[in-house]
Amino acid sequence: MKGKDTKLKCILLVDDDEFTNSIHKMVIEDVGVSKNIEVAESADAALDLLECPKVDDCKTPDLIFLDLNMPGMNGWDFLELYREKKKNCRTKSLIIILSNSTNPYDQKKAETYEEVAGFRSKPLTDLMIHEIMDHYFPS
C-alpha cells in the first residue's frame, strides 16, 4: 500500500487502551493508507468526533476500528448510537470490530449490524490493513 495515490481521508481508532491505540496507529502509519488517524479512548469520545450537524457537513472517517469491551459505553452501545446519529448522513464509515473477544456470540451479533463490515482479532497488523484495503477500498 505504501506509495499508492489512494489513501483514506481519515481512520478512527476506538479503544480504551492507550497502548493498543499507539501500536495500532503506528501500524496504520507504517502501511501508509492514511495520514489522518483519530483516536478515541471511549465510545463517548468517538461519538463526539462523529458529530453530524447537517447532512452536507458530516464528519465521517472512511474506516473505524471499534473495540467492544470498554468501560461505560461499550462497542455495542456505540453501534446503536452511531446508527441513530448517521441516519440522515449521506456517507457512512466502514466499521471493523477489532476485539480480543473469543466469544462466538460477539461475531454472530456483529453480523446483525449492517454498519459492521468485519470482525477481527487484535492486534491490528499490516496484513489485516492490506486485506481490508484490497477488499473494501480497491484502487
- pLDDT recorded at residue 110: 95
Q: Where are the alpha helices (DSSP H) in the chain?
A: 18-31, 43-49, 75-85, 104-110, 126-136
Residues 6+ apart with CB under 8 A from 81: 43, 47, 73
Each residue's pLDDT tens digit, 80-117: 999 888 777 767 899 999 999 989 999 999 999 999 99
Each residue's pLDDT tens digit, 28-83: 999 999 989 999 999 999 998 887 544 444 568 999 999 999 999 999 999 999 98
Residues 6+ apart with CB under 8 A from 98: 15, 24, 65, 66, 67, 120, 121, 122, 124
- pLDDT recorded at residue 90: 66
Please give the C-alpha separations between residue 26 and each of 9, 19, 38, 53, in angstroms, as whole numbers: 17, 11, 12, 31
Strand partners, 91: none
- pLDDT recorded at residue 72: 93
- pLDDT recorded at residue 85: 80
pLDDT higher than threshold 70 for residue 1: no
> Three-state SS for 103?
coil
When pLDDT is averaged across residues 4-26 and rounded to a whole number, the result is 89
- pLDDT recorded at residue 59: 66
pTM listed for this prediction: 0.90
- pLDDT recorded at residue 2: 44
Amino acid found at 11: I
